[in-house]
Amino acid sequence: MNIDKAKKRIAKLVKKGFDGYPLISLEYFGKTSDSATKVVISFVAQENAEPQKQAFSSDTDARKDEAIQSTLVKIIERSDVRTVVEVEGVSK
């Protein structure tokens, strides 16, 4: 999948806002705010449930990695979530 297409799909789902559970959260990590070398995707089945987490790493910016972004879209689509949340910026 094209990187722009994947990013647009994710942004569209995030823009919908909270619509209940199950929920997926995306958080990017890096040493600086300019480059995210890791992304953690968390799946929460119901309120107060322990999240299931999976991490993906990249030598370059994970936000611009076509394979990672396509994988995130596939995970979101296959999990039938009602809400997608993305933490803004890059966490350290």
| pLDDT tens string 19-76 | 999 999 999 999 998 999 999 999 999 999 999 999 999 999 999 999 999 999 999 9
At 92 the pLDDT is: 86
Q: How many separate domains does the chain show?
A: 1
At 22 the pLDDT is: 97
pTM: 0.91
- Residue 77, domain extent: 3-91
Q: DSSP character for 92? A: -
Residue carrying the six token digits 């396509």 = 70
At 1 the pLDDT is: 78
- Pairing between β-strand 83-91 and β-strand 23-29 as defined by DSSP bridges: parallel
Interaxial angle between packed helices 3-15 and 66-78, expressed in degrees from 0 to 180 and rounded to the nearest 10: 40
